[in-house]
Amino acid sequence: MKWLSFSQLPVFARLLPVMAAVLAAPLPVEAELQGLSETEMSSIDGAGIGLVLENFKFSHGTDEPDASGEQARIFRIGGIKSTDGRDVDITVNHLYIAGANSNYGETLGPVNLGRLLNPWKIDVVDGNDIGIANKAVLEFAASAMVNSDQGYDCMDSGAGPGSGTCSSRPASAGYIGERADIGMQMNVAVGDDRSANINIHAKSAVIDGSYLRLWGDKDRRQMVGQFKLNFYSPELSINACAQDGSTCGSRILMSNFALELAIGNQLQPVFFDVDGSGNFVVEVAAIRRPQPGEIGADGLRGSSDADAWDFYESYYTNPEFRSNLKIGNFSVGDRDFGSARVQGMLIQHLNIKTRDLSQ
């Protein structure tokens, strides 16, 4: 078991709370009621809350100081210390969620998030329907995946209907689509060193099939959950630039980037807790070991306890429990490293605990 401080977590893990805080903040949204056709109305069951954001555009950051040194907008994260005790200050210069073809955040246009026929959802579902026995489950879900004869290729920005399993449509000449350009430009200062300027951009990103499910565990008296993140983008790039943006280092470019991350499942959920010292704990407990005699010496069902054998068979063979990472092409500057793939990764045990390094 290894405890990780916040500063030791991977960059993407440290950015997740930032993104979550921004997305959870109240945003001004303009909306109007739209009429539905008979076909659209027939597919609505009245359960839960469907969420569709049309002509959505989000942009926030930190402004350059004016002549008097004032800044109209400041987006800064503090209260973090490095392992050697220096203050860490993260200034987000620009965070955006906008329409496709934004030229790395330079030209922001609107995008639709969700579809009337397949919206994002907030719902309380019957756990028995999703393999969580006798529980009411709170679910936050993006648009669901669809059959390949109805959906769109998740990567191709010019995909047509019947080309894949994603519900979100790419932008076209006459339609803004449901695939967003997402990016962040930030400066990370450690002590007096403000040289680290990091830019992250994802083009035409899709998160269809993603969800967060939460329920309560009576025995452990903790919040329990499942987290599924699907993230598809034809181009994900990372680079570092000078603070004024005049010069930039080599760009890390990942084309046809597909992340299918599964943390927690019906048989091995993820537990959320706060310990006595106020630190946040995320745990995926190890799966239980079979009892003596439950699994036969030959490993076959016929010589094993049927319920125990079925339990482990489901755990080790269900593709929904496994995570995948695929990169069509990985390059750094002018160096091309080809494709990369991590397939079928199963998180068998995970324990992350935040630490206050100042104590």
The series of mean pLDDT values per 10 residues for the chain, 359 residues long, is: 42 44 44 57 65 95 74 80 83 93 93 96 93 93 96 94 96 95 91 83 97 93 94 95 69 96 93 87 91 94 95 94 96 93 93 74
Closest CA to 206 of 265, 277, 157, 150: 157
Element (DSSP H or E) covering residue 310 = helix 306-317
pTM of the model: 0.81
Domain ranges of the chain: 46-58+100-184+200-353
Q: pLDDT value at position 248?
A: 76
The CA distance from 301 to 316, in Å, is 14
What is the residue whose two structure tokens read 């429990």? 321
Q: pLDDT value at position 18?
A: 44
Spell out where the chain has E strands.
Answer: 49-51, 53-56, 58-61, 76-81, 87-98, 111-113, 120-126, 136-141, 180-190, 193-205, 211-217, 222-240, 252-263, 270-274, 280-284, 323-332, 335-336, 340-345, 350-353
The CA distance from 34 to 115, in Å, is 12
The CA distance from 294 to 303, in Å, is 9
40: left (phi over 0), alpha (psi -120 to 50) or beta: alpha
Q: pLDDT value at position 352?
A: 92
